[in-house]
Amino acid sequence: MANIAQAIRLALHYGEENLGVKNIFGEDVGPPLGGVFTATQGLKTTWNSPLDERGIVGMAMGLALAGSRCVAEIQFVDYIFNTIDLLKIAGNTCWSSYGQFPMPMTIMTPVGSGIRGSLYHSHSFDAWATRLPGWKIVMPSNSLDAYGLLLAAMKDPNPVMYLPPKALLRVRGDELIPGEPADEKELRSMIDAPLGDRTSWKPRWPDIGDFTVEIGKGKIVREGTQATVVSYGRTLPLCKKASEDLAREGHSVEVIDMRSLYPYDWQMIKGSILKTHKVIFVNEDTEVSNFGEHLCRRAIEEFFFNLEARPRVLAGKHLPGIGLHPHLEENSVPQYENILHEIRELLSEQP
């Protein structure tokens, strides 16, 4: 089974061959490195940009305005903040031009904690991204969705921000990408560059197929009847594990993977809340002005008389940054134990 980094590489290859993607670029995206997480190794249209995030976003906007589909990478989301004004312009260009200038560009940038990245390599961008009208925002939590969401992003005429979680990039999926060999060793031998000299290496791409995850559609990863957990990205597998462990104690917890932060699948969330009457929103972005707060507010406004417990948001602490020491990181953002505790508390509340 492919890991998320390999799934991204396969999707980008499909985009080059089938979707008209002609430029995949960013810092260290091209040879010899193929991306700091190896997600762009072996691709035909990759090239290395200067260390200039504003230049990367500006180039993507120019290519998109010229009608060329591109994928631009910001190496770590922590360095995207100095491009906010450009991202704002990219988001409003199609709208302000009355549809005359669509922006078929994808910005790909890894987000979140989990790699011991300390102050400058552990940021989340969920809430910031959803405050950029005109953008579509997606975040995969597994390899198959990573592949399908990136294909959807490359096909879309709108600017799409693709946010793979740093902590999950080496995590293998449990579902095969169409055309992917079942043997992970075979896949590695085909598409992973060897260590050392890579000058003569070329990948042997499997015959992968089209698989698109519709932007705006969530997924119920575990069905339940007693409480709803809504999450995405790094915290999603932790929520799923917590629900599985609670099932052994006789509890039935439904877990929703949003996959798409904007537009988002409110009908799926609504249906689950009306079924379970209890909900918690979990992510690792800082708790103040958190995207989960928006979802929580909407749940209160629409389902106040249906709720049997106060809705909750479990998110990262509102700190200037995440420390390097493992204890500092683990106490800054939700971990498995925090999620399990909060779900237990939610289940214990009586109407």
Burial degree of 178 (CB within 10 A; 0-12, 13-18, 19+): middle
How much is the average pLDDT of 293-297? 98
Angle between helices 266-276 and 291-303 (to 10 degrees): 60
* Res. 64 pLDDT band, cuts 50 70 90: very high
Token pair, residue 165, equals 């979680």
Token pair, residue 16, equals 């080059």
Distance CA 223, CA 257 (A): 12
Give the tens place of pLDDT for each residue, 339-350.
999 999 999 998
Give the tens place of pLDDT for each residue, 255-270.
999 999 999 999 999 9
Tell me where in the chain the CATH 3.40.50.970 domain(s) lie: 4-191
Tokens 């980094």 correspond to 5
CATH 3.40.50.300 fits 4-191, yes or no: no
Q: DSSP string covering 166-224, please?
A: GGGTT-B-SSPPTT--S-HHHHHHHHSPPSS--TT------------PPTT--EEEE--
Q: Is the pLDDT of residue 351 over 90?
A: no
Distance CA 22, CA 32 (A): 19
* Res. 156 pLDDT band, cuts 50 70 90: very high
Distance CA 332, CA 300 (A): 27
C-alpha closest to that of 77 among 26, 43, 34: 26
Beta carbons within 10 angstroms of residue 116's beta carbon: 15
The pLDDT value given to residue 195: 86
Q: Is the pLDDT of residue 199 over 90?
A: no
User: Is the separation of the CB atoms in 47 and 185 below 8 Å?
Assistant: no
Distance of CA 220 to the CA centre of its chain: 16
DSSP letter for 3, please: B
C-alpha closest to that of 139 among 295, 259, 28, 253: 259
User: Is the separation of the CB atoms in 215 and 138 below 8 Å?
Assistant: yes
C-alpha closest to that of 109 among 163, 166, 38, 36: 163
Distance CA 105, CA 119 (A): 29
Phi, psi at residue 15, to the nearest 5°? -65, -40
* Res. 271 pLDDT band, cuts 50 70 90: very high
Q: Is the pLDDT of residue 197 over 90?
A: no
CATH topology of domain 219-348: Rossmann fold (3.40.50)
Beta carbons within 10 angstroms of residue 19's beta carbon: 16
Q: Is the pTM of this model over 0.85?
A: yes
102-106, 181-185, 194-198, 300-304: range with lowest mean pLDDT: 194-198
User: Is the separation of the CB atoms in 287 and 318 below 8 Å?
Assistant: yes
Q: For 44-183, where are the alpha helices, taking DSSP H only?
A: 53-65, 84-96, 126-130, 143-155
Token pair, residue 105, equals 């560009």
Tell me where in the chain the CATH 3.40.50.920 domain(s) lie: 219-348
* Res. 254 pLDDT band, cuts 50 70 90: very high
